[in-house]
Amino acid sequence: MGKTNRVVVCGLKRVGKTSIIEQSIYGNLKKGTEIFPTIEDIYVANVETDRGSREKFNFYDTAGFDLNTLQSVNSDCSAYASFIRQYAPQADCFIFVYDTSSQSSLDCVCALKQELDKVKDKKEIVMIVFAHNMTEQYTSLSDAIKSNAIQWCTREKIRHFDVDAFNRKSLHEPFIYLASKLSPVPNRSSFPQLSMVRKTVRNEFN
């Protein structure tokens, strides 16, 4: 276990960010559990990698963007830019969460990623997307929104995961992927290892 990885979880309000984090860490979330609006909480957890090692994480559960205060979910660059400037310098990863029944929540994710692209060249930041179904019903609209999200993630080269805050098993793969991505196996040096070899000197004149 080395450094502490810092992960920002973000998106619109009421897309299930807190529920996802609490279920993945504590595993005690049940339907009907009351989740209060988040201002900002930090969760500390050890997450297992695909190699079996455990890595330390700080998850920053952010308040989420409010549709009622955004001028436009697609183009309110000032709100998104301010958020990214606040978190990007310290973050190792951003988890973007959207609700499969809300096109606005996907638009928010796309806008945040666009702002993050403006600053991420200064450091390497991992990004992944969580599709969370808040209605418990799959409709043609949900399928269309998720299909758009998958196509967008493919173009942007971002991993897309289907998650369910009430099904802890659905959270295992994305968090193991995240821990493994942020804690890769160190590459072995290609430079040959040097060692002391006893030198034998032969007198050619004997």
Tokens (6 digits) for 150: 């998958």
205 domain-assigned: no
Burial bucket for residue 205 (CB in 10 Å: 0-12, 13-18, 19+):
exposed
Given a contact cutoff of 8 angstroms between Cβ atoms, the answer to whether 121 and 79 are in contact is no
189 domain-assigned: no
pLDDT at position 195 over 50? no
Give me the number of domains the chain comprises: 1
187 domain-assigned: no
**Residues 61-71: b if buried by 16+ CB within 10 A, e if exposed:** bbebbeeeebe
Cα–Cα distance, 56 to 5 (Å, whole number): 6
63 domain-assigned: yes
Least confident window among 29-33, 51-55, 75-79, 95-99: 75-79
Q: Each residue of 136-183: pLDDT tens digit?
A: 666 788 999 999 999 999 999 999 999 999 999 999 999 999 999 998
196 domain-assigned: no
Who has greater pLDDT, 39 or 159?
159
Backbone region of residue 25 per phi and psi (left: phi > 0; alpha: psi in -120 to 50; beta: other values): alpha
Given a contact cutoff of 8 angstroms between Cβ atoms, the answer to whether 182 and 5 are in contact is yes
12 domain-assigned: yes
Q: Each residue of 56-94: pLDDT tens digit?
A: 999 999 999 998 887 666 655 788 999 999 999 999 999
Cα–Cα distance, 177 to 165 (Å, whole number): 17
Q: Each residue of 7-26: pLDDT tens digit?
A: 999 999 999 999 999 999 99
Closest CA to 140 of 97, 103, 98: 103
pLDDT at position 190 over 60? no
188 domain-assigned: no
What CATH number did the domain enclosing 71 receive? 3.40.50.300
203 domain-assigned: no
> What pLDDT score was predicted for residue 205?
40
**Which residues constitute the domain of residue 162?**
5-182
